[in-house]
């Protein structure tokens, strides 16, 4: 009887552990919403989301410029990161001489291991002056931010796309080649479309990564609170808004930063759910 | 024949573009690493590692930030490993695919995507203020633990999945209970995989800045208890670079940071290979 | 050979989901005999074997009707300890599955679960089991090296020794020689014949020749049904049923 009791007891403990792991997500939601929602209700969701002015000193909290800023930077990062990442994934799956694949693979591992502050710093000392000197503007800009982000999301995009390309049955390739397609036509017309749900999932996760990046963006975006009008303008994102001001904010101001976190959290949850649903469909 | 020529031309152009993409990825990696290391390594000296920062970090070394990094990472790993491995064991061995496991898996998937700044906000309002732990090693370590938990769970679950079903059958057939089977026949063989997840967690803890700055503070004093605030190497690097305190020290700290992460990875791989060889 | 019944299978049916794997089996297995269960693939042999120590419990969605008695006691009695049952009824699978640990640890796995932790006692048990499994001479100098370095035949004998270390009463063997060369097979068969004075053995042989070489009695299974049982001599030389005869003479299967 004691053995059975011990087994039951262990099972309950493990269940408890598993639930406490996911209860962290609930706790996060509870505390972020608890701090942020009151302010959103106080000034009205519409003013908060669509207001163009962020002047904490005067109690004006509109985060539209940050939302726009976040999407510009993320869009820019995908514009560059997606073709680059997809090309690298194809390189790893299809055309690689083994030595080149190994080098690229370790390069990607190292890229994934570089701390984001280092990316930000490198952008600041190398990219920002280049942009300022050759393209004009302050240099601290959406363009610099997007360039850095596109490198930062590469490991995510490459590894997930590569997995989904690798998971395809070999018969797809053999079939296409047997019908007289060139190797490239096989890749581009058969393999890539067949792996598309995995590739889309990689894009979404890359997007999440880009939207969530904070420290690197604080260092290179310039952080101006205004509607960006070109890729050479400086900007502020949802994350950097929190990161810059959290250190000294109090009262309503602090709540407004948590409210910014609420919006960020909701966007990310939406993207996550999308990615999870998509990758589940790939399995099923 | 003309059509075929065109098709092969397309193929060759695509091949060249793909090679260029691969080469530029490698190139960018090399550029970043070399830039930071070449400027940073000349700053290294015994005193750089063994002295604590003076006058905001303009002078002295980075000793206290190394201590801070180690302290936070240790707390994070010590908390996250049992939680993560326990969750993975529950998912892999104790439930069948069903509603409970789907809910847990979904929650972990979502947690994995939460941006670090949100973990920072959460750690700040929950550990620092609500639980009144202040800016401290404990607050920072717990917030980091929450952040690396999904990584540890996913890698541990993969590791458990890779153990052949027959091992379980053998253990049960020898009169093992479920828990005995897990601890004696499954876990020892899953250790390399679980270890990989822990190393990933270590690296993420070392690198993380946003979470730490909001939960552990940025004190330069060498901590004496779990409730003391600390500054990690990443935070130190960020403050040095962003506030323009000292580019020289920033490069030095950055280079140390990169080398530390690479070192952890290499040592982990080496230990892992030895472990696998010893058992085979 | 005594005539006491060790295992009694009564009206036993088994289903994977809605697919029947065994249909109303009635069978007595006597103490200290080697009973061979033979028949073509997918005839329910392995399911029957795994039902005898309830390894079938691990399969999701499986269920059974009827019952199985071990020494006149119902093995499906909810009060009965499953781990105790599995210690009394040991199984060896068709492929040798050595756990990735040392030879010594493999054999000590069961006794340790049984609560034997004293080194001296453990050493004795392991030594004895390896001797009865006819492996001792080959491995006595390298007990602490990995079991995965043994050959296939040695690994299978290790699996037998691993079961013997638990001193079970019934030994179930599921095609224990299927992946082995003739010399290893001979050595395992010899081991089995020697073991039967202490154990009751239920064997799924990997061919009819093997069954006729080692079995005392045998039962022929087809599509989940027990077609015929009897002494090995009778079944292999003068089967009563047409289907058995067809199978034994090699007309199908």
What would the pLDDT profile of B137-190 be if each residue is shown by its tens digit?
999 999 999 999 999 999 999 999 999 999 999 999 998 899 999 999 999 999
Q: What is the pLDDT of residue C95?
A: 86
DSSP string, chain B: -HHHHHHHHHHHHHHHHHHHHHHHHHHHHHHHHHHHHHHHGGG--HHHHHSPEEGGGTEE--HHHHHHHHHHHHHHHHHHHHHHHHHHHIIIII--SSHHHHHHHHHHHHHHHS-HHHHHHHHIIIIIIIS---SSHHHHHHHHHHHHHHHHHHHHHHHHHTS-HHHHHHHHHTT--HHHIIIIIIHHHHHHHHHHHHHHHHHHHHH--HHHHHHT----SPP-STTS----HHHHHHHHHHTTS-HHHHHHHHHHHHHHHHHHHHHHHHHHHHHHHHH-
Query: If DSSP codes are grouped into helix, strand and coil, which group holds residue C196?
Result: coil
Same domain flag for B228 and B149 = yes
Same domain flag for B238 and B217 = yes
**C253 located within any domain:** no
Whether residue A276 has pLDDT greater than 80 = yes
Give mean pLDDT, residues C156-178: 90
Distance, in Å, from the CA atom of C243 to the CA atom of C43, rounded to the nearest integer, reads 13
CB contact under 8 A, C55 and B168: no
Report the neighbours of C using a cutoff of 3 or more CB pairs below 8 angstroms: A, B
Q: What is the pLDDT of residue B234?
A: 95
Residues of B within 8 A of A120 (CB-CB) are: 238, 241
Q: What is the pLDDT of residue A284?
A: 34
Whether residue B224 has pLDDT greater than 50 = yes
Q: Does residue C81 belong to the interface with chain A, where contact is any CB pair within 8 Å?
A: yes
Whether residue A251 has pLDDT greater than 80 = yes
Q: The domain spanning residue C213 has which CATH number? A: 3.40.50.300
Same domain flag for B28 and B63 = no
List all residues of chain B from 101 to 120 with a beta carbon under 8 Å from chain A.
103-104, 106-120
Give mean pLDDT, residues C137-143: 90
Which residue does chain B place closest to A183, by CA atoms?
B11
Same domain flag for B131 and B233 = yes
Handedness of CA C133, C137, C140, C146 (dihedral sign): negative
CB pairs under 8 A between A and B: 237
Token pair recorded at residue A73? 């930077």
CB contact under 8 A, B184 and C163: no
CATH architecture under which domain A56-283 falls: Orthogonal Bundle (1.10)
CB contact under 8 A, C109 and B177: no
Same domain flag for B68 and B186 = yes
CB contact under 8 A, B237 and A117: yes
Question: How many domains does the structure of chain B reveal?
Answer: 2
CB pairs under 8 A between A and C: 3
Percent of chain B surpassing pLDDT 70: 98
- Find the distance separating the first CA and the last CA of chain A, reported in whole Å: 42
Q: The domain spanning residue B147 has which CATH number? A: 1.10.3720.10
Residues of C within 8 A of A4 (CB-CB) are: 81
Which residue does chain B place closest to C51, by CA atoms?
B173
d(CA A23, nearest CA chain C) in Å: 29
Distance, in Å, from the CA atom of A72 to the CA atom of C19, rounded to the nearest integer, reads 58
**C75 located within any domain:** yes
Whether residue A91 has pLDDT greater than 70 = yes
Chain B residues touching chain C at CB-CB below 8 Å: 96, 164, 166-177, 180, 184-185, 188-189, 279-280
**Model pLDDT for residues B229-273, shown as the tens digit of each residue:** 999 999 999 999 988 888 999 999 999 999 999 899 888 877 777
Which residue does chain C place closest to A5, by CA atoms?
C81
d(CA B83, nearest CA chain A) in Å: 6
Same domain flag for B26 and B56 = no
d(CA A235, nearest CA chain B) in Å: 17
Same domain flag for B134 and B55 = yes
Handedness of CA A90, A94, A96, A98 (dihedral sign): positive
Q: What is the pLDDT of residue B90?
A: 95
- State phi, psi for C26 to the nearest 5 degrees: -125, 120
Residues of C within 8 A of B166 (CB-CB) are: 93, 95, 97
Percent of chain C surpassing pLDDT 70: 98
Q: Does residue A3 belong to the interface with chain C, where contact is any CB pair within 8 Å?
A: yes
The ipTM, to two decimals, is 0.92
Vertex B61, ends B57 and B65: CA angle to 5°? 80
Report the neighbours of A using a cutoff of 3 or more CB pairs below 8 angstroms: B, C
Whether residue A228 has pLDDT greater than 90 = no
Q: Which residue has the higher pLDDT, B269 or A48?
A: A48
How do the residues of chain C divide into helix, strand and coil, expressed in percent and rounded to 5? 40, 25, 35
**Model pLDDT for residues C77-99, shown as the tens digit of each residue:** 888 888 889 999 999 988 888 99
Same domain flag for B78 and B133 = yes
CB pairs under 8 A between B and C: 63
Q: Does residue C162 belong to the interface with chain B, where contact is any CB pair within 8 Å?
A: yes
Which residue does chain C place closest to A4, by CA atoms?
C81
CB contact under 8 A, B18 and A91: yes
CB contact under 8 A, B113 and A275: yes
Q: Does residue C100 belong to the interface with chain B, where contact is any CB pair within 8 Å?
A: yes
Same domain flag for B15 and B105 = no
**Model pLDDT for residues B67-99, shown as the tens digit of each residue:** 999 999 999 999 999 999 999 999 998 988 788
Q: What is the pLDDT of residue B280?
A: 57
For residue B211, what are the domain limits? 48-279
For tokens 């529950």, the residue is: B90
Domain residue limits, chain A: 56-283
B169 and C93 Cβ atoms separated by less than 8 Å: yes
CA-to-CA separations, B213 to A172, A238, B123, B136, C141, in angstroms, rounded: 50, 17, 10, 10, 59
Same domain flag for B15 and B52 = no
d(CA C101, nearest CA chain B) in Å: 6
Q: Does residue B46 belong to the interface with chain A, where contact is any CB pair within 8 Å?
A: no
Whether residue A282 has pLDDT greater than 60 = no
Q: Does residue A4 belong to the interface with chain C, where contact is any CB pair within 8 Å?
A: yes
For residue C194, what are the domain limits? 5-248
**C165 located within any domain:** yes
Q: What is the pLDDT of residue A1?
A: 54
Same domain flag for B111 and B38 = no
Query: If DSSP codes are grouped into helix, strand and coil, which group holds residue A138?
Result: coil
Same domain flag for B164 and B193 = yes
**Model pLDDT for residues C7-20, shown as the tens digit of each residue:** 999 999 999 988 89
d(CA B66, nearest CA chain A) in Å: 15
List all residues of chain C from 170 to 229 with a beta carbon under 8 Å from chain B.
none
């Amino acid at each position: 009887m004691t053995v059975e009791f011990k087994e039951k007891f262990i099972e309950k403990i493990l269940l408890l552990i598993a639930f406490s792991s996911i209860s962290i997500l609930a706790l996060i939601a509870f505390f972020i919403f608890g701090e942020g929602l009151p302010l959103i209700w106080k000034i009205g969701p519409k003013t908060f989301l669509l207001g163009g002015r962020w002047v904490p000193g005067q109690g004006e909290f509109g985060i539209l410029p940050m939302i726009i800023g976040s999407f510009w930077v993320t869009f820019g990062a995908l514009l560059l990161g997606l073709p680059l990442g997809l090309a690298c994934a194809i390189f790893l799956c299809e055309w690689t001489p083994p030595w080149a694949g190994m080098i690229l693979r370790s390069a990607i591992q190292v890229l994934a291991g570089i701390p984001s502050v280092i990316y930000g710093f490198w952008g600041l000392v190398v990219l920002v002056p280049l942009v300022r000197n050759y393209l004009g503007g302050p240099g601290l800009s959406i363009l610099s931010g997007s360039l850095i982000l596109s490198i930062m999301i590469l490991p995510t995009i490459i590894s997930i796309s590569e997995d989904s390309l690798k998971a395809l049955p070999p018969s797809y390739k053999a079939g296409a080649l047997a019908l007289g397609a060139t190797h490239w036509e096989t890749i581009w017309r058969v393999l890539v479309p067949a792996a598309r749900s995995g590739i889309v999932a990689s894009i979404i996760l890359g997007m999440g990564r880009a939207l969530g990046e904070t420290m690197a963006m604080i260092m290179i975006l310039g952080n101006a609170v205004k509607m960006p009008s070109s890729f050479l303008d400086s900007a502020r994102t949802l994350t950097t808004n929190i990161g810059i001001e959290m250190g000294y904010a109090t009262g309503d101001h602090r709540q407004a930063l948590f409210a910014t976190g609420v919006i960020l959290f909701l966007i990310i949850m939406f993207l996550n759910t999308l990615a999870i649903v998509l990758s589940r469909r790939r399995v099923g | 024949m003309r059509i075929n020529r065109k098709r092969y031309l397309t193929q060759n152009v695509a091949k060249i573009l793909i090679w260029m993409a691969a080469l530029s990825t490698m190139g960018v990696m090399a550029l970043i690493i070399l830039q930071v290391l070449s400027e940073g390594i000349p700053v290294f000296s015994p005193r750089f590692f063994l002295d604590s920062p003076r006058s905001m970090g303009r002078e002295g070394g980075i000793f206290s930030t190394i201590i801070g990094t180690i302290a936070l990472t240790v707390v994070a790993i010590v908390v996250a490993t049992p939680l993560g491995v326990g969750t993975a064991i529950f998912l892999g061995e104790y439930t069948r695919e069903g509603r409970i496991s789907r809910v847990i898996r979904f929650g972990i998937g979502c947690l994995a995507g939460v941006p670090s700044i949100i973990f920072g906000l959460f750690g700040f309002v929950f550990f620092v203020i609500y639980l009144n732990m202040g800016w401290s090693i404990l607050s920072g370590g717990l917030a980091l633990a929450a952040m690396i938990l999904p990584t540890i769970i996913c890698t541990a679950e993969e590791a458990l999945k890779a153990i052949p079903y027959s091992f379980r059958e053998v253990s049960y057939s020898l009169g093992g209970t479920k828990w005995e089977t897990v601890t004696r026949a499954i876990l020892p063989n899953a250790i390399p995989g679980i270890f990989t997840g822990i190393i990933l967690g270590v690296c993420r803890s070392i690198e993380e800045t946003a979470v730490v700055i909001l939960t552990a503070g940025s004190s330069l004093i060498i901590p004496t208890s779990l409730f003391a605030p600390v500054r990690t190497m990443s935070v130190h690097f960020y403050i040095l670079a962003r506030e323009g305190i000292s580019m020289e020290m920033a490069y030095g700290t950055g280079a140390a940071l990169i080398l530390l992460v690479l070192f952890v990875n290499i040592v982990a791989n080496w230990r892992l290979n030895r472990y696998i060889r010893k058992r085979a | 050979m005594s005539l006491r019944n060790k295992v009694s299978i009564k009206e036993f049916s088994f289903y994977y989901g809605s697919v029947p794997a065994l249909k109303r089996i009635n069978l007595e297995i006597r103490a200290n005999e080697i009973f061979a269960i033979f028949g073509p693939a997918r005839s329910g042999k392995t399911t029957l074997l795994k039902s005898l120590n309830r390894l079938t419990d691990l399969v999701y969605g499986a269920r059974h009707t009827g019952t199985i008695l071990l020494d006149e006691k119902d093995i499906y009695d909810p009060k009965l300890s499953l781990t105790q049952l599995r210690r009394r009824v040991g199984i060896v699978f068709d492929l040798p599955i050595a756990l990735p640990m040392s030879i010594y640890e493999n054999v000590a796995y069961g006794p340790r679960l049984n609560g034997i932790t004293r080194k001296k006692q453990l050493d004795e048990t392991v030594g004895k089991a390896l001797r009865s499994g006819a492996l001792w001479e080959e491995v006595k100098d390298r007990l602490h090296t990995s079991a995965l370095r043994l050959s296939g035949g040695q690994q299978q004998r290790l699996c037998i020794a691993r079961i013997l270390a638990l001193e079970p009463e019934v030994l179930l063997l599921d095609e224990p020689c299927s992946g082995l060369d003739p010399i290893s097979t001979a050595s395992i068969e010899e081991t089995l014949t020697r073991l039967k004075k202490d154990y009751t053995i239920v064997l799924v042989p990997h061919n009819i020749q093997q069954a006729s070489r080692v079995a005392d009695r045998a039962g022929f299974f087809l599509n989940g049904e027990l077609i015929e049982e009897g002494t090995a001599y009778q079944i292999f030389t003068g089967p009563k049923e047409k289907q058995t005869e067809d199978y034994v003479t090699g007309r199908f299967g």
